[in-house]
Structure 1
Amino acid sequence: MLKQLYIKNFTLIDELNIQFHQGFSVITGETGAGKSIILGAIALLLGQRADSKSIKQGCHKCVVEAHFDLSRYDMREFFLQNDIDYDDTDCIIRREINSNGKSRGFINDQPAAIGLMRELGEHLIDIHSQHQNLLLNKEDFQLNIVDILAKDDDIRQAYRQSYEAYKAAVAQLEALKEEIQKNLQNEDFLRFQTKELEEANLVAGEQEELETLTQMLNHAEEIKSSLYNTSNILIQDDGGLVNSLKEACANLHNIEEVFPEIKEQSQRLEACFIELKDISHDVDRQVDKIDFDPKQLDDANLRLDTIYTLEKKYHAATTEELIEILAELKKRIELFDHSDENLKRQQEIVEKLEATCRQQAAKLSRQRSVAAKKIETELLKRLVPLGIAKARFSILLQEKPLSHDGQDKISFLFSANSTTDMQPISQVASGGEIARVMLSLKAMISGAVKLPTIIFDEIDTGVSGRAAEMMGQIMYEMGLSNRQVISITHLPQIAARGTTHYKVSKEETDMGTISNMKILTTEERVAEIAQMLSGSNITEAAISNAKDLLNIK
């Protein structure tokens, strides 16, 4: 729950440090006193967009900080997953806005992205304003209420997984149909391309081999001449290097016994002789191999022309890429040749997944239907003391095509009396009736969802008298179950039900208009509620009525 709120230099607030308590609290004050400013500051902590205009005039930075007690709500996993220090008795959220428009967020003094603050805020506070009453007209909001009270999270998760698998299979089927249709339109061309590449009998690496061969054949005479000259230099009968080296080796061998120191050089020279002799033989053999063959060169060039033409045509750089293109073409031809089989197989997969999805959807529908009946009964019980004794309420579930949230189309039907046919609630309910329906639903939801703090921002608009008193009682009861409920209200009947009463006021100072908030004492509560009853001219009767509302003797 919210324990403490600190605000500095935010719009009309110079500095505010206020403590909050468990149970049902009320906030009152004249219109324009600054109640919406308090909500705006809390909204910043929940990740709302920051604006430098929110900074108090003449200041360079504003700060909003809140302390929460999470000891009853088991939120450790959220902090562990996001690598944030965890203190369940004092969770601190802070937002700072600078005059340059930049803002920073912190969770337990660690920098935090605004999206993360928003995610955490959804677990901490639910702010219900008058505008949220309009949500009652939205089908997805109505469905969400049913799901919350049906406690169908596991079933919805199972359904969603089935639905995603089904939609993925449908997408694959459509893609397959599209590809087959595309291939059908290009069938002749695909088969021509496949035939052309197959007839080329491409071999990986042959382009490089052919390019090397043509290079050699184009320089055959030059190569042969160089090899022949080299061979002559090595093995010429008179003065050839091999014979000269052989003679030098013999000379050194002859003096090894009388000059032992030359033995190492003799061995090294002999090794050189052996190596040079081998080289000369290899060069001599290469001379015999090299021979200019015009036909072989023509054949190689013709083959390369074929390869180069295909590479240019198919935008490839190597024979390997051409071979890959051929493989892809064959795959597309095979897809066409077996299109009926492939379509049938994918269609069977779709039908199987659709059947599973419909089973899960039906299970979800049954759970929702049971919950809908309970909601109808419970809501009518709550509306009677709220002044709509003749109310009728029904939740209509109609089947719709499978979607991400199931196969149920939800509609809340309502009638405030017994003689008028029920119609969609948005078409027949007044503002006050919608407010009472929403409060009743919130009360029911609060029992199913562990939300630490609920703030009602003038939810009582359009309500008065006994109905207002009962609305206050409902909010009081909501605050009894380890929950914090805060209501911003203009109605004395609701204000009197609060266990803690705050007042927001504004005053003119030399520095301009400032807004303040404080906890009222018992005497101050009497005066505040009396003023709410009779206006600025507080009468003895108003004071007496205020004491009656507060059960003060």
Structure 2
Amino acid sequence: MLVNLSVKNYALIDDLNVQFHNGFTTITGETGAGKSILLGALSLVLGKRADLSALKNSDSKCTIEATFAIENYNLTSFFVDNDLDYEVESILRREILPSGKSRAFINDTPVTLGVLAGLGERLVDIHSQHQTMQLTENAFQFKVIDALADTSVLLVEYRKELKQFKKLESELKTLLANRAAATKELDYNTFLLEELETANLKEGLQEELEETFEQLNNVETVRELLSQSHQLLNEEQVGLLTASSSLQNALQKLAGYGKSYSELNNRVQSISIELEDIASEIEKLSDSVDADPEQLEVVNGQLQLLQDLYKKHQVQSVLELIAIREELSEKVAISLDMDGTIAQKQKEVNQVESQLNNLAKNIHDKRVKSIPKLAKVLTQQVASLGMPSATFKIEVNPIEEFKSNGKDALVFQFSANKGSNYGELKKVASGGELSRIMLAIKSILASYEKLPTLMFDEIDTGVSGEISNRMGEIMEEMGAHMQVFSITHLPQVAAKGKQQYKVFKQEEGQTTVTQMKRLENEERLHELAEMLGGKNFTASALEHAKELLVNS
């Protein structure tokens, strides 16, 4: 509920600070006193867009601050989702700078205007002639039906399943589109895959082929060099093995003369063993080197195939070709197995669709069951508001399409007079009738769900007498379990308030400012008397005012 409103430098308001209470509060004042200014300031702090014309003094900033008690509104998740500090008494603040820039804050944390508006609409519902048209909107009418039908739990589950259904449907459409595209590409992808598989790709293949090619392409040179190496090692007179043997014999004799000689001997022994091993390896290689023109041609062909594949796939390495091979293999496998995947996905879609249809049917049944009750209560309420012959025709008809709130089409029609045809509210109901119907609906809703603070802006315009008295009673009844404000020109309504505030203008120096104060005792009595008989009210007007207060 709204606990406090502070307004500085806004329109005709210089500095205003007002505390509010729960229950039904009435706000009165002469035409032009600034009641609309007060609503404008409240709208700004609830997230409405602003401009420089809002500033009273264009050289100073405008600040509007509203404190709300929010512990009963289940808003913790909103604060968590928007990374805000949750406070049982939360403060919304709006600043409009002389430059035209606007800033918004929730509990001193800067927020976007969208976040401020998102919280504001959960805290205050300002009902004006413009908001009355909401009554003609299908979404609001469903909200009324669902409040009486108690479908909130079912709707949460339905929307959860609908989200899953749309996700699965999207995945199925993607699979079907992929299958159509894959079918066209399957032959080509299969050809590319077979070509890559024939190449027997493996890491290091290019280097291995190039090495083999060099050996086969230079057989004579290799033979000659191996032969020279063999001679250098094995020549009888000056070969490395003969020299090594002589060196080994000499050092073996020295080995007994000291540690250093022994170490030299060991090193020579190692070298001799290594030279013998090298000689043996050279001999083996010499025996294995043969000219093989056919193998050379095969290796050359494999290298050329690699180059062709590089060029075709626009890559530069075997590893990249391997990656392409794996990707093609996956595509071909998916193409070949796609029917099974699609069948499984279709099964999932059908299962969720069945659950959705069951939930939609339960929601529909509860709505249908609640219609007679709503029509009866609504007819009774509007009858007490001066429309004794008004009736409502409400139908909920099943449709095939999954909507965000079920599978229903709602027909909400109205007839103001006996014998008149039923028609859509926006076509057959006058502005005054819409206002009274909206008041009746709001009072019904208040019995079924936790509504935000309600601010009625002259909802009683154009009515008087017993009807205005009944309108006041309805708002008073609503105020028994929620915070309700009514800006009114009718003393019958004003007197019903648990508390009454007056908006008025006063001159301060060379300027005129709007002020607001809570009326106490005699002040309230005199205000009601003025509303009844003008500023020069009579004793009878004063007595009438007393009766209004006593009977309220």
SS at match of 1:257: helix
SS at match of 1:217: helix
8 Å Cα contact 1:24-1:485 kept in structure 2: yes
Partner of 1:136: 135
Partner of 2:91: 92
Moved more, 113-122 or 426-435: 113-122
Identity %: 38
1:166-205 matches, within 5 Å, as: 166-182=165-181, 186=184, 190-195=186-191, 197-198=193-194, 201-202=197-198, 205=201
Matched, 1:441 2:441: yes
**Deviation of residue 163 (structure 1)?**
2.9
**Deviation of residue 406 (structure 1)?**
0.8
Partner of 2:453: 453
**Deviation of residue 500 (structure 1)?**
1.6
Report the TM-score, using the length of structure 1 for normalisation.
0.84
1:137-536 matches, within 5 Å, as: 137-182=136-181, 186=184, 190-195=186-191, 197-198=193-194, 201-202=197-198, 205-206=201-202, 208-214=204-210, 217-218=213-214, 221=218, 224=222, 228=226, 231=229, 235=233, 237=235, 251-264=250-263, 266-267=265-266, 270-271=269-270, 274=273, 278=277, 293-310=292-309, 312-313=311-312, 318-331=320-333, 333-334=335-336, 339=339, 347-401=346-400, 402-451=402-451, 453-481=453-481, 483-510=482-509, 512-535=511-534
SS at match of 2:550: coil
Aligned equivalents of 2:376 and 2:416: distance in 1?
A: 15
Deviations 1:180-217 (A, max 9, x none): 44456x3xx63254245425533563484145423552
**Deviation of residue 111 (structure 1)?**
4.2
Deviations 1:439-490 (A, max 9, x none): 1111111222223522222223343332222111111111112x21112223
Deviations 1:306-328 (A, max 9, x none): 44445544556633134234324
Q: Which amino acid aligns with 2:450?
A: K
**Deviation of residue 6 (structure 1)?**
1.6
Aligned equivalents of 2:224 and 2:523: distance in 1?
A: 117
Partner of 2:126: 127
Structure 1 residues 192, 123: closer, same or farther in 2, change over 3 A?
A: closer
Moved more, 528-537 or 230-239: 230-239
**Deviation of residue 119 (structure 1)?**
3.9
Moved more, 76-85 or 322-331: 76-85
**Deviation of residue 294 (structure 1)?**
4.7
SS at match of 1:420: coil
**Deviation of residue 285 (structure 1)?**
5.2
Q: Which amino acid aligns with 2:527?
A: E
Deviations 1:293-352 (A, max 9, x none): 5543432343344444455445566331342343245236525xx75x776665555444
Deviations 1:221-269 (A, max 9, x none): 4983896499469736466667666655655543343222454555456
Aligned equivalents of 1:25 and 1:234: distance in 2?
A: 117
**Deviation of residue 102 (structure 1)?**
4.3
**Deviation of residue 56 (structure 1)?**
3.6
SS at match of 1:369: helix
- Structure 1 alignment gaps of length 5 or more: none
Aligned equivalents of 1:144 and 1:407: distance in 2?
A: 15
Moved more, 403-412 or 523-532: 523-532
Aligned equivalents of 2:224 and 2:38: distance in 1?
A: 97
**Deviation of residue 385 (structure 1)?**
1.6
**Deviation of residue 284 (structure 1)?**
6.2
SS at match of 2:384: coil
Aligned equivalents of 1:549 and 1:301: distance in 2?
A: 111
Partner of 2:44: 44
Deviations 1:127-164 (A, max 9, x none): 22221111111111111221223221211122223333
8 Å Cα contact 2:35-2:487 kept in structure 1: yes
8 Å Cα contact 1:47-1:121 kept in structure 2: yes
Report the TM-score, using the length of structure 2 for normalisation.
0.84
SS at match of 1:296: helix
1:95-110 matches, within 5 Å, as: 95-110=94-109
Matched, 1:63 2:71: no
Aligned equivalents of 1:64 and 1:526: distance in 2?
A: 31
Structure 1 residues 466, 218: closer, same or farther in 2, change over 3 A?
A: same
Structure 1 residues 495, 153: closer, same or farther in 2, change over 3 A?
A: same
Aligned equivalents of 1:290 and 1:464: distance in 2?
A: 120
Matched, 1:13 2:13: yes
Structure 1 residues 209, 9: closer, same or farther in 2, change over 3 A?
A: same
Structure 1 residues 446, 260: closer, same or farther in 2, change over 3 A?
A: same
8 Å Cα contact 1:125-1:455 kept in structure 2: yes
Q: Which amino acid aligns with 1:3?
A: V
SS at match of 1:161: helix
Aligned equivalents of 1:139 and 1:73: distance in 2?
A: 25
**Deviation of residue 172 (structure 1)?**
4.1
Structure 1 residues 12, 266: closer, same or farther in 2, change over 3 A?
A: farther
SS at match of 1:497: coil
Structure 1 residues 201, 508: closer, same or farther in 2, change over 3 A?
A: same
Aligned equivalents of 1:249 and 1:28: distance in 2?
A: 125
Aligned equivalents of 1:92 and 1:462: distance in 2?
A: 36
Aligned equivalents of 1:113 and 1:149: distance in 2?
A: 35
Number of equivalent positions: 545
8 Å Cα contact 1:207-1:319 kept in structure 2: no
8 Å Cα contact 2:213-2:300 kept in structure 1: no
Aligned equivalents of 1:495 and 1:12: distance in 2?
A: 24
SS at match of 2:502: strand
SS at match of 2:500: strand
